[in-house]
């Protein structure tokens, strides 16, 4: 098969690594890609949201399968544009991608499908939103309705903090139009888990769970980020819980989306809170998580390409995927200044030394190549992955690889996996 992967981050490097390993893959392109992805396929200079150029390239190269990594091209209609010219796309239509593109829509779908989630209210007027917060009290969660690169959520410990978030989103528009509408919901207590299911519009199969570390500082302190590390499998997410989530969350959501004429195909990312009353949906995403994707790919035994094709063809009921029993962990190395304004342009040395260590895989996220050197070109720059017979062994291997990298301008958390390791 001839495959076009869309995106340029660590998630896309992990997907490229898995796709290139498939005996079905005849040729792999990535748009726009990064220096790590270039080890597995050909990078082409097309932006991830340039829908017309992506489809034109796919037609010119007789691409069999388009695999979008990030959410933005899906919300912008990449799958629809591919369908118009008869090219399979592993991802939902723009109508179905609203599950991530609009948190208010996601809440509406959950209510219609009877999917358990936190009580919430949606506002377009900041004064009304603040009045609701004052009545409900804190802690409380304020979410920008639209896409905000993973930074549109504030878990407010006080009413004043929630009101400040409302002003920042709705009046200051720190996330642009994404914050014109806000969803305010009750703050749930429990353990967070990211669960993934492959979907073909009618059928769904489990595709593993992971736990990520969203806050920038050790001990889960500081501001939220796109993710500072992840591990899988999470001990708290038992096989019984997986069956419960499939029956009470994933399948009812698929049925409701089909009823609305927007069948969901691709990967459904269920952000869950494991509460005392059972699993509750915090959010839906319409693509693999980053850095969760990296740990899923490190553990995946099955061939990824036919699994994605089965989702496109509507035959997932005949399919199953298998994972290695060994745990996996990934540690994100970020540029100084992240999650604010990262310092870019610094050179990263020792990548080959790190990648040569046993059970280690180095994924590029925000890098660029210049004159034979690898330079930092973003906030989250590298994702250092490792597997091991135990999570502790995987952690030790990952941090040994981190220490083999010479990059004074970078930093990482040193406690990835702490929740599971402290059990």
Q: Measured between alpha carbons, how far is 294 from 314 in angstroms, rounded to an integer?
A: 26
User: If you count them, how many residues does the chain have?
Assistant: 423
Q: Which two structure tokens, joined as six digits, stand for 21?
A: 């390993």
Evaluate whether 407 touches 223 at the Cβ level (below 8 Å).
Answer: no
Span 220-232, pLDDT tens digits:
999 888 899 999 9
Beta strand 191-200 pairing with 204-212: antiparallel
Question: 3-state SS string over 183-232?
Answer: EEEECCCCEEEEEEEEEECCCEEEEEEEEECCEEECCCEEEECCCCEEEE
Residue 273's pLDDT is: 97
Domains observed in the chain: 2-89 (3.40.50.20), 125-180 (3.30.1490.20), 191-318 (3.30.470.20), 328-421 (3.90.600.10)
Phi and psi of 381, rounded to 5°?
A: -105, -40
Evaluate whether 375 touches 31 at the Cβ level (below 8 Å).
Answer: no
Span 401-415, pLDDT tens digits:
999 999 999 999 999
Span 324-366, pLDDT tens digits:
999 999 999 999 999 999 999 999 999 999 999 999 999 999 9
Whether residue 247 has pLDDT greater than 90: yes
Give me the helix-helix angle, 103-113 and 251-259, nearest 10°: 100
* DSSP class per residue in 33-86: --TTGGGTSEE----TT-HHHHHHHHHHTT-SEEEE-SSHHHHTTHHHHHHHTT
Span 9-50, pLDDT tens digits:
999 999 999 999 999 999 999 999 999 999 999 999 999 999
Whether residue 423 has pLDDT greater than 80: no
Residue 311's nearest CA partner among 410, 199, 396 is 199
Model confidence at 416, pLDDT cuts 50, 70, 90, reads very high
């Amino acid at each position: 098969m001839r495959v076009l992967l869309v995106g340029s981050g660590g998630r896309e490097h992990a997907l490229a690594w898995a796709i290139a390993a498939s005996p079905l893959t005849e040729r792999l392109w990535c748009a726009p890609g990064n220096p790590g992805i270039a080890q597995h396929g050909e990078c082409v200079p097309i932006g991830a949201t340039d829908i017309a150029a992506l489809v034109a390239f796919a037609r010119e190269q007789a691409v069999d399968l388009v695999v979008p990594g990030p959410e933005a091209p899906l919300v912008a209609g990449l799958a629809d544009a591919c369908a118009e010219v008869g090219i399979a796309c592993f991802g939902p239509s723009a109508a179905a991608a609203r599950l991530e593109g609009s948190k208010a829509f996601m809440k509406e779908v959950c209510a219609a499908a009877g999917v358990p989630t936190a009580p919430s209210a949606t506002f377009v007027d900041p004064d009304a939103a603040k009045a609701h917060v004052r009545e409900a009290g804190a802690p409380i969660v304020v979410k920008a309705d639209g896409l905000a690169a993973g930074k549109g959520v504030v878990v407010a410990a006080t009413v004043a903090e929630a009101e400040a978030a409302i002003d920042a989103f709705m009046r200051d528009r720190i996330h642009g139009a994404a914050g014109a509408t806000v969803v305010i919901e009750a703050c749930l207590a429990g353990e967070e888990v990211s669960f993934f299911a492959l979907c073909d519009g009618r059928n769904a199969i489990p595709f593993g769970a992971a736990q990520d570390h969203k806050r920038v500082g050790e001990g889960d302190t500081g501001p939220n980020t796109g993710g500072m590390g992840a591990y899988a499998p999470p001990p708290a997410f038992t096989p019984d819980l997986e069956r419960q989530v499939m029956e009470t969350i994933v399948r009812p959501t698929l049925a409701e989306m089909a009823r609305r004429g927007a069948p969901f195909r691709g990967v459904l990312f269920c952000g869950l809170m494991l509460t005392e009353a059972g699993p509750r949906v915090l959010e839906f995403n319409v693509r693999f998580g980053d850095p969760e994707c990296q740990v899923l790919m490190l553990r995946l035994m099955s061939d990824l390409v036919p699994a994605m094709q089965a989702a496109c063809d509507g035959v997932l009921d005949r399919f199953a995927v298998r994972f290695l029993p060994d745990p996996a962990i990934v540690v994100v190395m970020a540029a100084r200044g992240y999650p604010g304004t990262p310092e870019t342009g610094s050179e990263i040395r020792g990548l080959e030394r790190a990648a040569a260590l046993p059970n280690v895989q180095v994924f590029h996220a925000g890098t660029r190549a210049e004159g034979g050197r690898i330079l930092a070109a973003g906030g989250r720059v590298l994702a250092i992955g490792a597997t091991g017979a135990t999570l502790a062994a995987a952690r030790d291997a990952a941090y040994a690889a981190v220490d083999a990298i010479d990059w004074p301008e970078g930093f990482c958390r040193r406690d990835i996996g702490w929740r599971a390791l402290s059990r």
